Amino acid sequence: MTTEQLKVGEAIIDLLSREYGVDVVFGIPGVHNIELYRGLHRSGVKAISPRHEQGAGFMADGWSIVAGKPGICVLISGPGLTNALTPIAQAYHDSRPMLVIASTTPTDALGKSFGPLHDLPDQAAVARSVCAFSETVTDPTMLPALIERAWNVFTSARPRPVHIAIPMDVLAQTCVPFIRQHIAATKPIAHDRDISRALDIINSSQNPVIIAGGGAIDASREIIALAEKLDAPVLLTGNAKGVMSSAHPLCAGNCLVFGRVQKDIEAADVVIVVGTELSDTDLYNDGRALQFGGNVVRIDIDADQINRRTTPAVGIVGDAAHTMASLTRGIVARNPTTGAQRAAQWRDHARNKTSNTFVPWLQVIEQWLPEDAIVALDSTQLGYSAHWWLPASRSRSWLAPYGFGTLGCALPMAIGAAVAAPDRPVLAIAGDGGWLFTVAEMAAAHDLKSNITMVLWDNSGYEQIR
């Protein structure tokens, strides 16, 4: 009996397809990474080719948001990776899973700096600051454990990109098919003691508020149940838009930027903060840092976040959905009183404060926008107001560069979203400046026959700094 022999590049794709369900990757083929592309053909994995590796990263990020799975980038050595660093950094700052597999220079050239093609002094180090981890692999037997480690980051911790660099000569070596190295990992579960302490505070509150962020993106049911039992209005960060439908009476939407709303948060006797950094981009509008006059119950999967920007009365390290379900079971149910009224007041305030420059356009878009639409926004003035003006009916339908504030992301993210959900309409909104950053991806959208509508906000320059 002969054991099948594969090139290492083929074996990587075979493992990802067979054991991890990978069926699409984003990248541009080249001489250095061609063995990975041979694996794509063999495994039946679809390859999406942008016109620039920056597009590949943004497409993978948009695909990941909508699909709810890690986006996969297959890149060439050196400039292929550096071209993609901006979208990798965006995924890092917005806590989204992305596996970046890139070739690198041959093993005997690593770190030698004698001018090999596409050489970086240390490719893994270049990516390390925007990845959960970044490794160079010269021994292919290390790959199954490293890929499993990456998947554990994606599924049981705060998700962030992972970069694996593989010398082109290693990719071309022969090997037997890889076997998945199962390494048990589970999401942190809230301690019963912390749940009990939080319930004591929450059940004695009079005007609670919930602030939910991207860490709660898959906890829609649990957020709604907690809010309804507590009669608490829910404020959403940009990365959580759609976690509670905009039509729900307790949904205040994306109004955190407004000073009036921030003052009401300060007046609340309890604020439950779940899965958010409370970042500048969620609070910037009136230049006033968020203050808490009452108790804060903070829930996050990342223990390092618990005491940042807040001093919580109770900090709970745990999965958002599991923790909120545990809290809901212990909440003393209340009759609806002021929760919906407060949410409506904040929504109305946001609309009333929106510049008349944007209102007519937002009204037209709102009337046209189908309920199941996916929206991708660039860093553009019309997009900033769209955050709180346009509705979202479901989670994983709203794409924007909240953590990193990149330009040029809307179009390629929309393409990735359309690949993930080809039957849903996709809207991309960009300014004339940002659109030009990645305008070449219009060709990729055409090739893919993507169901995308593009709205271009043309103010003849970088209006934000005029």
134 and 100 assigned to the same domain: yes
209 and 239 assigned to the same domain: yes
Q: Pick the residue with more confidence: 335 or 444?
A: 444
Q: Work out the average pLDDT over 65-85.
A: 96
Residue 406: CB atoms within 10 A of its CB come to: 23
Quote the CA–CA distance of 419 and 374 in Å, as a whole number: 12
197 and 346 assigned to the same domain: yes
418 and 315 assigned to the same domain: no
What's the half-sphere exposure (Cβ side, CA atoms, 13 Å) at 405? 8
40 and 137 assigned to the same domain: yes
At position 280, the amino acid (one-letter code) is: D
Cα dihedral 305/309/315/321 (nearest 10): -60
| pLDDT at residue number 42 | 83
Does residue 458 fall inside a structural domain? yes
256 and 386 assigned to the same domain: no
Phi-psi region of 250 (alpha: psi -120 to 50; beta: other; left: phi over 0): alpha
Give the pLDDT band of residue 223 (cuts 50, 70, 90).
very high
Q: How many domains does the chain have?
A: 3
Domain boundary among 300, 327, 352: 352
53 and 130 assigned to the same domain: yes
pTM of this structure: 0.94
Q: What CATH number is given to the structural domain containing 453?
A: 3.40.50.970
| pLDDT at residue number 1 | 43
302 and 431 assigned to the same domain: no
Query: Tens digits of per-residue pLDDT, 274-291?
Result: 999 988 888 875 445 689
SS3 assignment, position 242: coil
Query: Tens digits of per-residue pLDDT, 115-141?
Result: 677 778 889 999 999 999 999 999 999
348 and 364 assigned to the same domain: no
Query: Tens digits of per-residue pLDDT, 29-57?
Result: 999 999 999 988 888 899 999 999 999 99
Quote the CA–CA distance of 39 and 175 in Å, as a whole number: 13
| pLDDT at residue number 2 | 53
Res. 326: pLDDT tops 50: yes
Quote the CA–CA distance of 264 and 270 in Å, as a whole number: 11
Domain boundary among 352, 385, 418: 352
SS3 assignment, position 209: strand
| pLDDT at residue number 290 | 84
125 and 71 assigned to the same domain: yes
Which domain range does residue 427 map to?
359-465
Query: Tens digits of per-residue pLDDT, 402-428?
Result: 888 899 999 999 999 999 999 999 999
| pLDDT at residue number 112 | 74
Does residue 451 fall inside a structural domain? yes
Q: Pick the residue with more confidence: 464 or 55?
A: 55
441 and 396 assigned to the same domain: yes
What's the half-sphere exposure (Cβ side, CA atoms, 13 Å) at 300? 25
Query: Tens digits of per-residue pLDDT, 339-357?
Result: 999 999 999 999 999 999 9
| pLDDT at residue number 108 | 82
- The residue with tokens 């307790």 is 250
| pLDDT at residue number 106 | 84
Does residue 184 fall inside a structural domain? no
Residue among 142, 144, 147, 138 nearest 169 (CA):
138
Does residue 434 fall inside a structural domain? yes
Q: What CATH number is given to the structural domain containing 297?
A: 3.40.50.1220
